[in-house]
Amino acid sequence: MTSTLPLVAAQAAPRQIGEPLPAFSAEVAGALRASPTARLVVFPELHLFGDGSPDRQRTEALQAAAEPLDGPRVEGLRAIARDHGIWLVPGSVCERGPGGELFNTELVLSPAGDIAGAYRKIFPWRPHEPYDPGAEFATADLEDTRVGLNICYDAWYPETTRQLAWMGAEVILNVVKTTTADRAQELVLARANAIVNQVFVVSVNCAGPVGRGHSIIVGPEGEVIAEAAGADPGLITAELDLSAVARVREHGTAGVNRMWSQFRPGEAPIHLPVYSGRIDPATWTPQHRSPRSTP
């Protein structure tokens, strides 16, 4: 049996900070009208936190807008997911931490309106972003798959996707707000991260005139499944064959490369001085393997 994940990724311009959530709910409804079979809807990084202010004023506005995850904003987003009966990634939100920190936090909300996953961006884009770094990687379990969460600049650090894949993620949800000329390089990274970890990558950027667009969905062998041709607002859709990850890992990328099966029992660990750590063959295999059979 093959299980699939129908999804729609919304390449959209950011909404203004403080805009009432019914407008966002209508945006979600529009995405579902265009793709009525979608079970997952994904929006770009900080989609609800657009602001045309200069840097200092923008930082002040983000600080003022930050709420804890049990605050009214997230409660409203949970209601939107529940009302539409979908898995919803509303981009990321400005989270006020328990010690007053400002986190850039990606959420996965379930069709029941629960917080299925929350991830604080570990690699803020310094020196340009005001956020405090998170300290923990995060995944979320949908009905048929595990998704890994990362945000924009995290994709430039290969350790993030490798860690999420090791934690059992079959699909990486990379929400992005790239306004600069390096989106071309990020498209290479999306494919490279998919290839070296044998996972799907969904990289959703905001639309122009704010963002550079070019959202992309990549398969576990690096193949482009769907891509926005430019920066205009629009939707990209895909129906991910979730058995593909197990199949590629079993038979190899291009039928040859099986990176997750590299080591033999009893081989010595490979020390990684830069991390004060090591790759241990005894723990190299991903923590969670899909129960789906492969043809």
* Catalytic residue IDs: 45, 121, 152
Structural domains of the chain sorted by starting position, each given as residue range(s) with its CATH number in brackets:
4-283 (3.60.110.10)
Does position 294 have pLDDT exceeding 50, yes or no? no
Lowest-pLDDT range, 33-42, 249-258, 283-292? 283-292
Burial of 207: CB neighbours in 10 Å, binned 0-12, 13-18, 19+: buried
pTM of the model as a whole: 0.93
| pLDDT for 295 beyond 60 | no
Q: pLDDT (tens digit, 9 = 90+) per residue, 181-228?
A: 999 999 999 999 999 999 999 999 999 999 999 999 999 999 999 999
Instruction: Give the pLDDT band (50/70/90) at residue 33.
Output: very high
**More confident site: 294 or 4:** 4
Mean pLDDT, the chain, whole residue set: 94
pLDDT tens for each residue of 95-152: 999 999 999 999 999 999 999 999 999 999 999 899 999 999 999 999 889 999 999 9
